[in-house]
Amino acid sequence: MSDPIVKEKVLQAVDILRELNIDVWLTFVRETSNMKDPILPLLFGENDLTWESVLLITHEGKNTVILGSLETDTARSLGIYENIIPYDASIVPALQETIQSIDPTQIAINMSRDNVRADGLSHGMYELLTGYLEGIGFNQRLVSAEKIIAALTGRKSTSELERIARAVHLAEEIFTDTFQVVKSGMSEADIAAIMHEAISTRKLEPSWNYDGCPIVNAGPDAPKGHALPSASRKLTPGQILHIDFGVKYEQYCSDLQRVAYLRKSDEKNAPPEVIKGFEVVRDAIQLAFEKIKPGVIGLEIDSLARQYLVDHGFAEYNHALGHQLGRMAHDGGSLMGPAWERYGEMVYIPLEEGQAFTIEPSLVLPDYGIIGIEEDVLITKEGAKFIRQPQSELILL
């Protein structure tokens, strides 16, 4: 059965093409069970396409799919594409005839320097496509589809936002249950196993690769970043426990970080430096949250939170403040981050209403461990809105 969100997004894409004054968006794929274009699920659901296939969306709403004859029934079942053109020996005649009939001044294709969700066209497929279009003189009309894809993935529909909110809620439940059973002597791998069991019980999927979701950091020796939970590194009293985790609900992700402190036998509270570190990260999130609104660029928001940590005596975090959230935990498009080369132009793209974002500053206390809090927010006309209640107090174990 076709996911109704696919039809919503294809219709939305037509409006985006009109807004951007682009005639046609062309997505060219093959053997998608081996290498799926990141945007294909929004255009063709979770179905695979085997032979060379072209999905065409026009600003007039005349949407076409050209595909192998063995997959025409799948295309029909979607109820989205009014023109379904099958082929057997070669896609070229149908593709050339269709493009000539549209006669577009611009053909947007899935290539991008900065946005991973918009860069699904491999180099080999690009060479094939330009060769096919050169034969009819249209190869010089190609432009990047990155603005189309950024808008399509970023502007969440009501259905998409409902799924994200549910994913956030379920992840919070698993966090709560996990912290209730965590105890001294457990390894990072033990804690991850508890969360994996909760994912399985709820029949969910992790928001990113299974082995690395959750990321569990126990104590000061834990590596910061995307490291796998260790079976040898164990949580002991006087250490911070930091977990980065999310679940996928009906193809949409949550992405949260929570931080706890395991008290020593003579401690009623965490040490002052741990409390200070937690409060600085928490307050940086609130500072960024209050700055977020449509039209603001991500660089400005990141700079505000980054400087707040520095002003309170901590080093800058070595990552972006926040990324978009959707079908992927890192959903591409605009980014709240610094003006570093690795982030390209994404930090200069204005934020838009309907986007879901993370906010996730962090710091390291050398004697205790990593303090990182990550919240998921929705951008509305008025500003940001927390999807669920943010972590306001350090969890004490």
Same domain, 20 and 90: yes
CA 228-229-230 angle, 5° bins: 110
Mean pLDDT of 156-165: 96
pLDDT recorded at residue 157 = 94
Closest CA to 303 of 280, 330, 282, 321: 321
**Given a cut of 60, is residue 1 above it in pLDDT?**
no
Mean pLDDT of 116-141: 96
CA–CA separation, 152 and 329 (whole Å):
16
Same domain, 144 and 174: no
For residue 201, what is the domain's CATH number?
A: 3.90.230.10
Mean pLDDT of 94-117: 96
- Buried b or exposed e, range 185-202, using 16+ CB within 10 angstroms: ebbbbbbbebbbebbeee
How is residue 192 written in tokens? 């991850």
**Given a cut of 90, is residue 47 above it in pLDDT?**
yes
**Given a cut of 80, is residue 2 above it in pLDDT?**
no
Closest CA to 274 of 358, 97, 181, 396: 396
Picking from 107, 135, 153, the residue at the C-terminal end of a domain is 153
Picking from 153, 169, 204, the residue at the C-terminal end of a domain is 153
Same domain, 97 and 108: yes
**Given a cut of 60, is residue 281 above it in pLDDT?**
yes
For residue 62, what is the domain's CATH number?
A: 3.40.350.10
Same domain, 193 and 70: no
Same domain, 213 and 338: yes
Same domain, 134 and 187: no
What is the number of structural domains in the chain?
2
pLDDT recorded at residue 224 = 86
The number of helix segments (H) and strand segments (E) in the chain equals 10, 18
* pLDDT (tens digit per residue) in 8-37: 999 999 999 999 999 999 999 999 999 999
Same domain, 259 and 165: yes
Mean pLDDT, the chain, as a whole number?
Answer: 96
Same domain, 83 and 141: yes
pTM: 0.94
**Given a cut of 80, is residue 304 above it in pLDDT?**
yes
Which DSSP letter does residue 294 get?
T
Same domain, 354 and 277: yes
How is residue 77 written in tokens? 């079942």
Same domain, 136 and 185: no
pLDDT recorded at residue 3 = 84
Q: Is the distance from CB of 185 to CB of 234 less than 8 angstroms?
A: yes
Same domain, 279 and 131: no
Mean pLDDT of 135-164: 96
pLDDT recorded at residue 358 = 98
The domain of 138 spans 4-153
Q: Is the distance from CB of 312 to CB of 306 less than 8 angstroms?
A: no
Burial category of 149 from C-beta neighbours within 10 Å (exposed 0-12, middle 13-18, buried 19 and up):
buried
**Given a cut of 90, is residue 142 above it in pLDDT?**
yes
pLDDT band at 97 (very low <50, low <70, confident <90, very high): very high
Closest CA to 55 of 24, 16, 31, 20: 24
Picking from 153, 186, 204, the residue at the C-terminal end of a domain is 153
Find residue 375's DSSP bridge partners.
359
Distant-in-sequence, close-in-space partners of 133: CB < 8 Å, separation ≥ 6 = 96, 99, 107, 139, 141, 142
Same domain, 15 and 104: yes
Which DSSP letter does residue 206 get?
E
* pLDDT (tens digit per residue) in 210-230: 999 999 999 999 988 888 999
CA–CA separation, 225 and 214 (whole Å):
12
* pLDDT (tens digit per residue) in 328-351: 999 989 999 999 999 999 999 999
